[in-house]
Amino acid sequence: MKAAVLYDINTSLQIERIALPNIENDQVRVRLVASGVCHSDWHVVKGEWPFIPIPIILGHEGAGVVEEIGSEVNNIKVGDHVILSWKRNCGLCEMCQVGYPNLCDVKADQRGQPHLLNSGRQMDKFNGLGTFSTETILPQDVVIPIDKEIPLPQAALVGCGVVTGVGAVLNTAKVEPGKSVAVFGCGGVGLNVIQGAMIAGAEPIIAIDILNNKLELGKQFGATHTINSSQVDPVMAIQDLTEGQGVHYAFEAVGLISDPFKQSILCTRKRGITVYVGHAPVNTPVDFDARILFSEKMVIGSHYGTCRPRVDFPRLLGLYKTDKLKLDELVTRVYPLEQINQAFTALGAGGVARSVLDLT
Ligand SMILES: [Zn+2]
Ligand SMILES: [Zn+2]
């Protein structure tokens, strides 16, 4: 198979040919058709997540077709169209048993043989998936069969950005109709928080970003109001839009710097809920006056949209089929695998909702 490999931080990915091992009894071999290019991949390239081993095949937002299954694989057939989940779902640990497989104890990389380069050098796969490649071998619990009518580039995005954003609203915060929402960041995840808020029936939905073109995208995905936080204080502007009360829910979907996180706590009303969605670089501090929590404000994290992939992926695709979830609009640009580095450049420039690699 062919894969894009990161050999060192802040360097271009290299396209390599890699021999796949034979699958084991509980594994599935998937021919990848599409992979989204997510900010998490870029965090690794930039060295912001030093706990990720290198060299590595990046990519964790993929969809494809099942080519081969092991003898112990259940509920997956050769020829199935599938979305990949980047969290294991062992079914046995405490979190899996109580309905939170997004917090499963089993590590993503606990999944058999690593790929081998021709030189014999060991190669990890990001989040155990490594979707910047034409084929991958996976344990069956991360392979989620879907309706064959759904186009695979759109389906791929459900596997990370869409479920992370929409799930933070519907599963983590359980936003109620008619309540107010502020969303900090209109990137790939933030746009999905916005459309999740629209699906939940929130009003108003206030989008905050520093780029006007991203705020325009926010409107397309359901924002009723926009605030450019490079021009005005977003906390004051949100107070003005909510009769001085602040919002019921705020979502931090920036993940780069601490200011928006602090603002997302300050802008909620009494008993308001702030949901931390963005993945900040390691050791990003956030400082705020602890006493503001006396008004019973709540700050919670959302990991992978509190999703149960076998339940939520098909449900999200059902919303897409009935025009309630925008996926076509998210696929802003399509690149071949060989142009992965251009896709990262576009991500850094902030001009795209999502770039997708065509791996066919
Ligand atoms: Zn991602
Ligand atoms: Zn588990």
Query: What spacing in Å lies between the alpha carbon of 245 and ligand 1's midpoint?
Result: 33
Token duo for residue 254: 């920036």
| Ligand number, closest to the Cα atom of 100 | 2
Query: What spacing in Å lies between the alpha carbon of 102 and ligand 2's midpoint?
Result: 8
Distances (CA, A) of 151 to 24, 147, 173, 280, 336: 29, 9, 29, 31, 17
Crossing angle of helices 234-241/259-266, nearest 10°?
30
Residues written for the chain: 360
277: left (phi over 0), alpha (psi -120 to 50) or beta: alpha
d(CA 126, CA 318): 28
| Ligand number, closest to the Cα atom of 158 | 1
d(CA 101, CA 85): 11
pLDDT of residue 116: 65
| Structural contact between residues 130 and 59, judged by C-beta atoms closer than 8 angstroms | yes
Query: What spacing in Å lies between the alpha carbon of 296 and ligand 1's midpoint?
Result: 31
| Ligand number, closest to the Cα atom of 308 | 2
Query: What spacing in Å lies between the alpha carbon of 56 and ligand 2's midpoint?
Result: 24
Distances (CA, A) of 138 to 48, 57, 66, 110: 26, 14, 11, 10
Crossing angle of helices 188-200/212-220, nearest 10°?
30
Q: Tokens 């963005």 correspond to what residue? A: 278
Query: What spacing in Å lies between the alpha carbon of 71 and ligand 2's midpoint?
Result: 22
pLDDT of residue 53: 86
| Ligand number, closest to the Cα atom of 279 | 1
Q: Is 345 helix (H, G, I), strand (E, B) or coil?
A: helix
Strand intervals (E) in the chain: 2-6, 14-17, 27-37, 56-57, 62-69, 81-84, 115-116, 122-125, 135-139, 143-146, 181-184, 205-209, 225-228, 247-252, 268-276, 298-301, 331-336, 354-358
pLDDT of residue 214: 92
d(CA 75, CA 91): 15
Query: What spacing in Å lies between the alpha carbon of 199 and ligand 1's midpoint?
Result: 21
| Structural contact between residues 327 and 36, judged by C-beta atoms closer than 8 angstroms | no
Query: What spacing in Å lies between the alpha carbon of 38 and ligand 1's midpoint?
Result: 5
Q: Is 279 helix (H, G, I), strand (E, B) or coil?
A: coil
d(CA 316, CA 322): 10
Token duo for residue 188: 């790939």
pLDDT of residue 347: 87
Mean pLDDT by 10 residues, the chain (360 residues): 94 93 93 95 90 91 98 96 95 96 86 60 87 95 97 97 98 98 95 98 97 95 97 98 98 84 96 92 85 95 97 98 96 94 88 88
| Ligand number, closest to the Cα atom of 91 | 2
pLDDT of residue 98: 97
